[in-house]
């Protein structure tokens, strides 16, 4: 993942007549990120996607897409992005091949490039055997695949997909997860809105949770040198000197320390926190804990799953303080 941003959304506010749908939404995505856009029905996900796609004009704020101002240069931005609406339409009289060629033509690909792009897109979405079928003869799931193909046939820098897995059978859903990981590895940035959190977990690098039009949480899901990892440490029983433990952990690179929500069977008491450092630094921390005669029974890097992140962000919970902390 390149670290320079491909998308910068700043203080975006959007109103429908008489209805505020987005308030002060800001986030930045690097190249090769996959953003899981989550939130309850009516939270503002579609409105945000449509604004980024340059289809709706926000009241205030800015959207920079690969250096292009989407609000003031929507046509220039259009070249760089692909968008699948949650409710899409296909021309029923066209075949799958014609539909993909049409989409490639709309994106101004040269004729020779169009043929190659359609072939590749059809392969990626498992559509090759149906290229000559009229789209009005296809089932909902196959039509969905054609619509995704139309959104990505021109290899956009940023691909916006509103509920892309809706209507797909389990095999096609797995295929889509694999495809998203491939696109990401090629440097494409994706924003995927879905209510199926377990699927988002498989390929997303970032999460933006929206509630009532506000961004309640935006974060990277994968550990980086900057973000650090979440470390979970379990003890046979709660340490007697909590401030001393906190100091020891802090000295060895741990911050944002809080009680773990559910200690495992072996640990009578556990904590979690952010650890910044190498594997050797982790080993040093473990050695220091054992050296201080603390009854460590668990020491592990954990990754919060999307479901946990979602529920926590919807409750807008702050991390709990360390149990028994004097701080």
- What does the binding site for ligand ATP look like in residue numbers (CB under 6 A)? 16, 19, 21, 39, 41-47, 86
Alpha carbons 20 and 18: distance in angstroms, whole number: 7
Return the exposure string of 115-142: e unless at least 16 CB atoms fall within 10 Å of the residue's CB, then b.
eebbeebbebbebeebbeebbeebeeeb
Residue found under tokens 């799953």:
305
| Nearer residue to ligand ATP within complex by CB, 88 or 299 | 88
- Measured CA to CA, the distance from residue 259 to residue 299 in angstroms comes to 14
> Of 17, 153, 172, 3, whose CA–CA distance to 82 is shortest?
153
Residues 106 and 141: their CA atoms lie apart, in Å, by: 24
Closest distance to ligand ATP from the beta carbon of 20 (Å): 8
Least CB distance to ligand ATP at residue 106 (A):
24
Q: Least distance from C-beta 64 to ligand ATP, angstroms?
A: 21
Contacts of 296 (CB under 8 A, 6+ apart): 233, 234, 235, 286, 289, 290
Q: Which is nearer to ligand ATP, 50 or 143 (CB)?
A: 50
We find the least distance from the C-beta atom of residue 59 to ligand ATP, in angstroms, to be 13
Closest to ligand ATP by CB, 68 vs 84, is 84
Of residues 102 and 214, the one with the C-beta less far from ligand ATP: 214
What is the C-alpha separation between 54 and 237, in angstroms, rounded? 56
DSSP string, 112-173: HHHHHHHHHHHHHTT-GGGTTSBGGGS-HHHHHHHHHHHHHTT--SEEEEESTTTT--HHHH
Is 267 in contact with 313 (CB distance < 8 Å)?
Answer: no
- Given the complex with ligand ATP, which of 19 and 287 has the nearer CB atom? 19
Residue 322: CA count within 13 A, CB half-sphere = 26
Shortest distance (Å) from residue 86 CB to ligand ATP: 6
Which helix (H) or strand (E) segment holds residue 202: the answer is: helix 197-203
Q: How far is the CB of 308 from ligand ATP (least distance, A)?
A: 20
Q: 20 vs 276, which CB is nearer to ligand ATP?
A: 20
Compute the least distance from the CB of residue 52 to ligand ATP, in Å: 12
Nearer to ligand ATP, 131 or 166 (CB): 166
């Amino acid at each position: 993942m390149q670290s320079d941003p491909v998308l910068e959304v700043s203080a975006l506010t959007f109103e429908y007549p008489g209805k505020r749908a987005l308030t002060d939404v800001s986030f930045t995505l690097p190249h090769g990120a996959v953003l899981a856009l989550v939130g309850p029905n009516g939270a503002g996900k579609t409105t945000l996607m449509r604004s980024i796609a340059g289809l709706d004009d926000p009241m205030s704020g800015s959207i920079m897409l690969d250096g292009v101002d989407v609000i003031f240069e929507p046509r220039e931005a259009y070249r760089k992005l692909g968008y699948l609406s949650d409710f899409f339409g296909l021309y029923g009289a066209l075949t799958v091949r014609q539909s993909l060629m049409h989409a490639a033509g709309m994106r101004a690909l040269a004729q020779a490039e169009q043929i190659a792009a359609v072939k590749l897109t059809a392969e990626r979405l498992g559509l090759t055997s149906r290229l000559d079928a009229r789209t009005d003869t296809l089932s909902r799931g196959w039509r969905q695949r054609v619509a995704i193909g139309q959104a990505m046939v021109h290899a956009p820098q940023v691909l916006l997909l509103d509920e892309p897995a809706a209507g797909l059978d389990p095999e096609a859903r797995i295929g889509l997860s694999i495809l998203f990981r491939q696109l990401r590895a090629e440097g494409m940035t994706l924003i995927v809105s879905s209510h199926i959190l377990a699927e988002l977990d498989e390929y997303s690098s970032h999460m933006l949770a929206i509630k009532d039009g506000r961004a309640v949480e935006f974060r990277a899901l994968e550990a980086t040198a900057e973000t650090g990892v979440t470390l979970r440490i379990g003890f046979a029983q709660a340490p007697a000197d909590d401030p001393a433990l906190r100091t020891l952990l802090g000295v060895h690179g741990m911050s944002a320390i809080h009680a773990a929500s559910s200690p495992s069977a072996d640990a009578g008491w556990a904590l979690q926190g952010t650890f910044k450092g190498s594997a050797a630094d982790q080993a040093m921390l473990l050695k220091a804990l054992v050296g201080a005669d603390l009854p460590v029974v668990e020491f592990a890097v954990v990754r919060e799953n999307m479901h946990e992140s979602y529920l926590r962000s919807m409750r807008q919970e702050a991390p709990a303080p360390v149990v028994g902390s004097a701080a």
